[in-house]
Amino acid sequence: MTGASMTVETISRHRCFGGIQGIHRHVSAETGTPMRFSVFVPPQAEHGPVPVLWFLSGLTCTEENFTVKAGAQRVAAELGLMLVAPDTSPRGDGVPDDPQGAYDFGLGAGFYVDAVQDPWARHYRMYSYITRELPQVLASAFPVDRTRQGISGHSMGGHGALTIALKNPGRFRSVSAFAPIAAPMACPWGEKALGRYLGPDRRDWRAYDACALIEDGHRLEALLVDQGGADQFLETQLRPDLLEAACAGAGIPLTLRRQPGYDHSYYFIASFMEDHLRWHAARLTERG
Q: Among the options 154, 159, 218, 264, which is catalytic?
A: 264
CA atoms lying within 13 Å on the CB side of residue 214: 23
Check 87, 114, 209, 231 and give the catalytic one.
Answer: 231
State yes or no: is 114 an active-site residue: no
Question: Would you call 264 a catalytic residue per the annotation?
Answer: yes
Burial class (CB in 10 A: 0-12, 13-18, 19+), 21: buried
- Nearest-angstrom CA–CA distance, 172 and 255: 17
Select which of 155, 174, 209, 280 is catalytic: 155
Q: Is 155 a known active-site residue? A: yes
Catalytic machinery residues: 155, 231, 264
